[in-house]
Structure 1
């Protein structure tokens, strides 16, 4: 039975756990090493130390945490290591793992954009056998950073965590349009122009602290995030769910591109070539380019329920049966591993 070590955040709602669930279903043994948790364990000063390590890089503590990664790899002897994003991982530690475990294949699944790379993370890039980016637009950038091999591996539908629900015991008010996601300035600006519709926003506290006091967005924020079953319930009850890319994640596709159809939501997504390379506009997704087009399409699809449901069902079938689940992504990673081993 092959053994996988995932380096990343071990929380149920994360990308890492979606990968873990898929590999486990395919018969792999999966272990985790969480850089943030390990760094918290080795930091001095208890709570102040943990706070300090979240703000600045303290090399002796980071080195000690990564030593435990090296020791764990020695003990497990994994066939494949998947490093998610490289935060908290030292380039020198990866180099040592390559020396001590030459048969272990090491991949980086990078779920972010090049904008969020810092020097420490860039230094890790040459030590991976392969880097998988979540957008095709970022492949050339990683090659220039010195990656051995770069492939495009889009996000996918986690059909265990994101799935349609029919139980409406916790009924929502009669919202027309919903958005679930983090605050971004450009998102707030667009959503402020859609508040003539019955709009609801779910997301973190930045929707309160970073939005102008007189913005109409503040009154439609639901004062919490929405994950898991609540996310699926929102998708089931709100006719139109928005997917708004931001300048950092552009051109996508982002996670919401797959999570919304996995819950059988009708998704109105910001248009990009990367999104339309996968989905067919008017068939498995509907798109907009600016506020005016978003307003027009919201009005149209609120008035045409059958068209809305047809696209939502087609999108659901597309992501769940046409090669866009995390089981499909895991199979692709395994095929690469077999070729690279």
Structure 2
């Protein structure tokens, strides 16, 4: 098929990985980058406009739509797939000539943060809405969406694979991900307990004053292959969920074991379906249970390394690449 893909195209983005997944699955793919609209550069005029008005810069929105329409005229796509396109003009996207119009939502579409009034007005007009949240299926159907598809998140083998460490320092426990209110207190408590044996990386963490003086290494985000190099520095890689999205799995569910890291994550039904607790990962439901896992990681590095290898084999052999998700979407369209 000919696929016109509208989504963020920066290195490490899930949208870029899914677009490449369609290409790897054998489709002709043209990408239109929506990053100028979704993530305007800090202190740029579009960023200042958004801060002042709460809206996206109309000149950037117009520029993206012009590129979409030009690409559609040249490609004549069988599918227009919009990845998290709530900030674009929905009517204009849906009017773009294409055989099918598909919207992919990587986050909870019942969380107001992940929608817009314009998106909700036009949501039922999409031929297919794809969600990575199982609980969204019934909710989208109740909102009038005719066809809904649940797919899990995925990993990108171009980036998420075992790689050599780029630093000689190693950590007992680490978390790579954004600061969120539901993660703050527990992460600070771990940093106070484990000090220099803990690594925290991601947007927002360096601004948390409670982390200063704990001895933990706190740094900014990492993307692409650099993520895998950081995973290699950590014995127990935490997979923390987003309660606002009612997550029962996340991208890290696949990325950590694909990168060869030991998956230490919150206990959910989906995590238990994907990996066997105790032999392919370690799951916890309480701080005490997590501490027992970390004690085991400190005392038996060889044993937990074998658990990490088993988790890597399970995920990489289980059909969880973006190419596999692209095939699930095209199968649903067929």
Counterpart residue number, 2:320:
324
TM-score normalised over the length of structure 2: 0.88
Q: Distance in 2 between matches of 1:152 and 1:275?
A: 16
- 138-147 vs 152-161, greater mean Cα deviation: 138-147
SS where residue 87 of structure 1 aligns? coil
Q: CA deviation at 1:133?
A: 0.9
Counterpart residue number, 1:10:
9
Counterpart residue number, 1:19:
18
Once superposed, what is the RMSD of the aligned Cα atoms? 2.6
Counterpart residue number, 1:309:
305
Structure 1 pair 261–214 and aligned structure 2 pair: CA distance change class (3 A): closer
Which residues of structure 1 form unaligned runs of 5+?
none
Counterpart residue number, 1:272:
268
Structure 1 pair 29–189 and aligned structure 2 pair: CA distance change class (3 A): same
Q: CA deviation at 1:219?
A: 4.8
Counterpart residue number, 1:232:
228
Residue 282 of structure 2, aligned match among 277, 286, 289: 286
Residue 171 of structure 1, aligned match among 168, 172, 176: 168
Q: Is the 8 A contact 2:175 2:200 kept in 1?
A: yes
Q: Distance in 1 between matches of 2:39 and 2:232?
A: 39
Q: Distance in 1 between matches of 2:8 and 2:49?
A: 19
Q: Is the 8 A contact 2:9 2:34 kept in 1?
A: no
Counterpart residue number, 1:248:
244
Structure 1 pair 221–142 and aligned structure 2 pair: CA distance change class (3 A): farther
Q: Distance in 2 between matches of 1:229 and 1:62?
A: 30
Q: CA deviation at 1:169?
A: 5.1
Counterpart residue number, 1:109:
104
Q: Is the 8 A contact 1:203 1:221 kept in 2?
A: no
Q: Is the 8 A contact 1:83 1:107 kept in 2?
A: yes
Q: Distance in 2 between matches of 1:18 and 1:60?
A: 27
Which residues of structure 2 form unaligned runs of 5+?
none
Counterpart residue number, 1:187:
183
Q: CA deviation at 1:8?
A: 0.9
Check if 1:138 corresponds to 2:136: yes
Q: Distance in 2 between matches of 1:190 and 1:313?
A: 27
Counterpart residue number, 2:117:
119
Structure 1 pair 61–228 and aligned structure 2 pair: CA distance change class (3 A): closer
Residue 300 of structure 1, aligned match among 296, 299, 304: 296
- 220-229 vs 145-154, greater mean Cα deviation: 220-229
Check if 1:223 corresponds to 2:219: yes
Q: Deviations along 1:105-130, whole A, 9 cap, x unmatched?
A: 11111101121223122123112111
- How many equivalent residue pairs? 324
TM-score normalised over the length of structure 1: 0.86
Structure 1 pair 95–132 and aligned structure 2 pair: CA distance change class (3 A): closer
